Chains A and B, each alone.
Chain A
Amino acid sequence: MEFLQNIMLGLENIASLYILCLIVLGVGIGIVIGAIPGLSATMAVGLAIPITFGMDAMPGLALLISLYVGALTGGLISATLLKIPGTPASIVTTLDGYPMARKNPGKALGYGIVASFLGGGFSYICLLTLAPLCAEIAVKLGSFELFSLIMCAMVMIADSTQSGFIKAAIAGFIGMLIATVGIAPIDGTTRFTFDIWQLASGFDQTSVLLGLFALPPLLEVVQKYDEPLPEYSLNFKEILPSRADLKDSAWNIIRSSFIGTWVGILPGAGAVTASIVAYNQAKNASPHPETFGKGDKDGIIASETANNAVSGGAMIPMLTLGIPGCPVAALLLSGLIIKDLQPGPALFASNPGLVYGFFLSFILANVAMLALMLILLKPFAMLLKVRTCYMVPFILVMCVIGSFVMNNQMTDVWVLIGFGLVGYVLERNGFPLSSLVLGLILGPIAEINLREGLTASHGSFMPLVTRPVSLAFLILAVIVFVYPRVKAYRRKKLAAGVAA
């Protein structure tokens, strides 16, 4: 009963023409940004945060959510037509999307669009039903439990990236270190400010995130901006897949939705991992695996269902625990904090209308995405012909003004440029920026909880292992780290045995 009441409260919050228009606009812009290679969902959401400053919480969040949903799907247009993934999440889509698009571009895009809609829809329903239950559990966690949970999340983040555990762990802890600049929690001591008063409140989080996620890709785009794009066909005859096609792929859609949502919940794993896992599972389960990579519809469906399903899953730990599952969730977290809303179980009790409005915005954005993609597919696809060099100056100016308006000071613009260069160097050397960002967000939460816990325990670390839930998280962290290595070692030994 309470659940239905909360849904009604959420509906009241978003049922206005203004918010609906923002959602449609956000999804449209998101699709365009996602479709243009080099520009990502993270960049779209990061650039929009300053714009939401003048808005109330609900319209602002609805705009950010719709940009995210649009950009996540937009990536499939260039992945399918050009074999260039618009966003990293669409990398796997190129494997089957492009070969099919060479024969029938409309059909290839149609499978991707419908799969994105179904995958997103599934995960948003999971978000709507699971998040309140998780919040009820989360409210029972104490300081030591939360610290152990964050350490467990850090291990998962480092272990799930494809750059290797050590580099990802270093990146995560660099993120945590960046977050220590400024006034320390609990006692208010200043750290690492080097007598620069503008650093007393730490680095502005949005400027850091914009620097890390907007500048490095733009620098990459500038380096190769005059490379010619491949030719592609705009002959879209039949877009929507038939009922028989969908029935044939029903199990694939369900399995990929589950994989995407589950991977989204795990901190750090992200849409790329989800689409790779779902694609491999679909290939293994297929009666004709040899057709994968040559334009099989199930390849497109698995990848697109899973990468869109990640978006709902990633919001569950972000909203209930304040732990973002991916960089976009970290930006949405910033968007919530800017509006004086601290994600966590208390938010569900204090502001249920906004939380459920947040959930429903995802569902509405998903519907808007389907409608816009089906109606405006041709114009969106034509936008791929726009040279990215026209976009770069615009985006750079928006980054500069976006970081300036955070605190009305130029220091934040220098922070943007500085972290842009740091991000570029780290990325070139194989240190994943997603780990760094998650460390940046999780660092302060970990420190506050550890210091609060130790104050309560009079300096004893023992509760970390004597409290069962805290111990369980630490054991889980060890399992997450050890199990894949033991498995790989066994496989290697087995292979060596077979070879001998």
Chain B
Amino acid sequence: MKQLYKDCLMPALLIAGSLFLWLETNSIPPPNFEPLGAAFFPRFILSVIIFFSALLIVRNLWKAVRGIPMPQQAEKVEPTTATGYLRMGITLALLLAYVLLVSYTDIPFLILTLCYMLVFGWYLSSWRFRALPIIVLLAVATTGIVYALFGVFLGVFFP
């Protein structure tokens, strides 16, 4: 039952999202000088997505009712462990914090980059002091490369 729920959730979300975007296409002005107009192509795509998503739900329900096992994916996706999710969550949180600080504060980009690499690198090494010299070296080198390549060579104004 849990598997069936999982298999049907994604297509159901896709249908809901497609219906919302379909409604949004009503705000696109009608065509002036050509037969189709700008709304036709997105509507065509949305109808295909809705059709295939519905098909996926029907197929999954049919297989569940008849007790037919779902085909295995060619590239088997390994299940994520609780620790895996935690690591992923912390990685995303650190990335979001870094990008938010770059976007909304006046702290120089290069300093933030250096700090982000130090904190993230050290976290990934499980806070081991033995790994710190390499992490510091990598952080300084990366910041230097970013400055030289983008700031000097490409003349980019950092955020």
Contact = CB atoms under 8 A, between A and B. Distances in A.
Interface of A: 50-51, 53-54, 88, 162-164, 166-167, 169-170, 173-174, 176-177, 180, 184, 186-187, 189, 191-192, 218-219, 222-226, 389-390, 392-394, 396-398, 400-401, 404-405, 408, 410, 413-414, 417, 421, 427-431, 443, 446-447, 450-451, 454-455, 458-459
A50 B91 CA distance: 24
B56 A170 contact: yes
Given A189-B29, A459-B35, A166 B55 contact: yes
Question: Chain A binding site: helix, strand, loop or mixed by DSSP?
Answer: helix
B21 A405 contact: no
Contact of B95 (A167, A177, A417): A417
B34 A451 contact: yes
A428 B77 contact: yes
Contacts of A167: 56
B124 A222 contact: yes
A222 B142 contact: no
Contacts of B95: 396, 400, 417
B88 to A, nearest CB: 5
A180 B42 contact: yes
A186 B33 CA distance: 10
Contact of A405 (B32, B84, B92, B150): B150
B73 A163 contact: yes
A454 B35 contact: yes
A189 B45 CA distance: 17
B74 A187 contact: no
Given A169-B48, A389-B125, A405-B154, A192 B42 contact: yes
B10 interface: yes
Contacts of B117: 393-394, 397
Contact of A173 (B25, B45, B157): B45
A224 B75 contact: no
Contacts of A169: 48, 52
19 contacts: A162-B74, A167-B56, A170-B49, A170-B53, A173-B48, A189-B28, A192-B42, A219-B88, A219-B92, A390-B138, A394-B138, A397-B117, A400-B98, A400-B102, A410-B99, A421-B92, A431-B10, A451-B34, A458-B35
Contacts of B87: 222-223, 225
How many interface residues does chain B have, given as a range? 35 or more
Interface in B6-60: 10-11, 14, 21, 24-25, 28-29, 31-42, 45-46, 48-49, 52-53, 55-56, 59
Given A225-B87, A390-B134, A177 B21 contact: yes
Contacts of B142: 393-394, 397
Contacts of B88: 219, 222-223
Q: Identify which of B21, B29, B41, B102 gathers the most chain A CB atoms within 10 Å of its CB.
A: B41
Contacts of B102: 400, 410, 413
A258 B11 CA distance: 38
Given A184-B38, A393-B120, A401-B146, A166 B59 contact: yes
A177 B121 contact: no
Given A53-B154, A219-B91, A454-B35, A176 B45 contact: yes
Contact of B124 (A392, A410, A428): A392
A400 B99 contact: yes
Interface string B50-81: 00110110010000000000010111011011
Given A219-B88, A405-B156, A429-B10, A162 B38 contact: no
Interface in B85-113: 85, 87-88, 91-92, 95-96, 98-99, 102-103, 113
A163 B74 contact: yes
Given A187-B38, A401-B113, 8 more contacts: A50-B150, A54-B153, A166-B59, A173-B45, A173-B52, A397-B117, A404-B156, A455-B35
A218 to B, nearest CB: 8
B124 A224 contact: no
Contact of A389 (B39, B124, B146, B157): B124
